Every structure is written in C-alpha cells, then in structure tokens.
Amino acid sequence: PKKFLCSNQQMDLLQLLLTAFLGSLLAFETGSAVAVSVPADTGTIQCPENFGQPGAVYENSKVYNWTIRGPKAVAIRFHFAELETPYDRLEIFEGTDDLEVSYRRNPKFRINPNNATSQALVLIAPVLIRFKTDSSVAKRGFNLTYTLEESLVRFRTFTEPSDDAICSELEVSDRDSNVSIEYRWLIDRPGRIDLKLSFSDLARIYQMTTTPDKEPVFTNGPKEREGTSRFRLFGPVLVLVKKTQTRGRVFRLSYRSSDGDLEMPTEII
C-alpha cells in the first residue's frame, strides 16, 4: 500500500486549519469569553473587552460566561451594569460556577436596560455571569464593576415614622450553600414598638439600645419553620438575625408604632 507523506509545510497548514476549525466551533457554541475567571478583589467585566472605544460592538447570537470565584463566605456587590440594547440579557447565578448547573437553574438576577441600575447586589461566591446576545442587532455592550467584601453583615435602619414598615427583600444564598450570614435591623426611634419576625433561624432582640451592648430581651427563633414571633418593646430596637443553611431562604421583619399601655416586654407566639 502507498503511504501518504506530508511535508513540514503541509503539516503546519493542516494544524493551522484544524485549530481554526475547532476555535470556530467553540466560539459558535459558547462565545469568545467562556468561563473566564476573574479572581481579583475588585474588577470590571466588559463585553466586548474594548467596550467604550470607537467602533466597539459585541457579536450577535453568542453566549458569554464569566465566573467570580472566592471563599463561600465572601459577599460580592455588583455596582453597575450598563446595557445598550433591549434585546439582550445579562443573567447572574449565585453559588455556582458550573455551566451545566446554571442551565438547570433560574438566575438570581436578570438584568436588562429597564432594570440595570447602580444598586448593589449582595451574592455568595462563586458567581456566574452570563451575557446572551440577540440575533438581530449589534450594539455597544455593557460595563459591570464588582467588589469582593469580607463582611457578611448587612444593616438596615428604619427611622421614618410609619404605621407598617416591612422589610421583606433580604434573601440569602440557595439552600444548598454552606454559608451563614447575619443581618441587623435598627429601628432607631423611641416609643413603643410592635415587632413581628418570621422565618428566622436564630434571632437576638434588644430594646432601648442601638448596639448589642446589653443582654437581649429575646434569644431564639420561631418554634416552627413557618413560625412567627411577635413582640411589644421600647425603642430603639435592634434585631440581629443569623441565617444558616439549615432552614429556608426567606425571612421577614415588620414593625409598627404602638400606643397601647405596656408594662414589660412581652412575647406573643
């Protein structure tokens, strides 16, 4: 049988063609920035990489992926996202850097030009960022900056008079995430306060103080997973809730001013 021999130039040409072919397949399936890890403490994610420069556009019908990895006990704040077209979507997944897992999950956030604001999003690493481009337009892209933060304590202060001020938007990582976070609410005004706490793991409640420098009037959580605890206290009131991976995700704190007579703090189950 005859043998087919290639010269060095032919081998170089075949290798170049094969590399180009495989590269085109990768770009077609996943986009040119698949699973790029950005481990720095602070950084900027751009699409395209020369975003903001004259003539910079991203390609149509692509899926770009970036991952921000770090210890699971690190909060990540996305400070700003800028999108230039209503046809494309920026999706953010929490607690995973696995592409296959992300396709089976709903994203924690979907950002489009209508809701892309400068609000900070507190997430648990690793975080997967996916940018899907539409097939009909090519625009300038987006710019997103992030910062890793060591502290997992979130604060919220209620100071405005209100008959019923509810804080229900504070959610933490997925139930399979091995993370604990502590939240603090300060109801910074005097007078009697009716307080209701639902879905917590462990709560410490302080009255007539703005710092946890005394014994709490209550240290526990609802007896049932779906339980609610109610209190009548003297303000200012400080509530500390520790959220662990052992219970459900969502919990709620609400309060209102109370004009009724109150001799001593009373828990009502």
Pairing outcome for strands 237-243 and 192-198: unpaired
Residue pair 220/175 in contact (Cβ under 8 Å)? The answer is no
pLDDT at 221: 58
Q: What is the pLDDT of residues 129-148, one digit of tens each?
A: 888 887 776 666 777 888 77
Residue 23 lies in a domain: no
Based on the fold, state whether residues 125 and 222 are members of the same structural domain: no
Q: Which residue has the higher pLDDT, 73 or 48?
A: 48
Based on the fold, state whether residues 122 and 170 are members of the same structural domain: no
The whole domain housing 102 covers 31-149
Residue pair 107/181 in contact (Cβ under 8 Å)? The answer is no
Q: Which residue has the higher pLDDT, 197 or 175?
A: 197
Based on the fold, state whether residues 258 and 186 are members of the same structural domain: yes
Q: Report the domain count for the chain.
A: 2
Closest CA to 176 of 119, 234, 98: 98
Based on the fold, state whether residues 85 and 173 are members of the same structural domain: no
Q: Quick one: pLDDT band at residue 15, thresholds 50, 70, 90?
A: low
**Helix (H) or strand (E) segment spanning residue 182:** strand 181-187
Residue 236 lies in a domain: yes
Strands of the sheet with 181-187, listed across from one edge: 153-158, 181-187, 237-243, 202-207, 218-220
Q: Which of 73-77, 197-201, 226-230, 233-237 shows the highest mean pLDDT?
A: 233-237
Residue 18 lies in a domain: no
pLDDT at 269: 28
- In Å, what is the CA distance from 151 to each residue of 72, 138, 144, 183, 223? 12, 39, 21, 11, 29
Query: Residue 172 maps to which CATH number?
Result: 2.60.120.290
Based on the fold, state whether residues 97 and 185 are members of the same structural domain: no
Residue pair 254/196 in contact (Cβ under 8 Å)? The answer is yes
Domain boundary among 129, 149, 169: 149
Phi first, then psi: what are they for 54, rounded to 5°? -55, 130
Based on the fold, state whether residues 123 and 167 are members of the same structural domain: no
For the record, the structure tokens of 183 come out as: 């939240």
Q: Which residue has the higher pLDDT, 237 or 54?
A: 237
What is the rounded CA–CA span in Å between residue 222 and residue 220? 7
**Helix (H) or strand (E) segment spanning residue 21:** helix 8-30
Residue 189 lies in a domain: yes
Q: Is the pTM of this model over 0.85?
A: no
Pairing outcome for strands 63-68 and 36-37: parallel
Residue pair 79/147 in contact (Cβ under 8 Å)? The answer is yes
**Helix (H) or strand (E) segment spanning residue 104:** helix 99-104
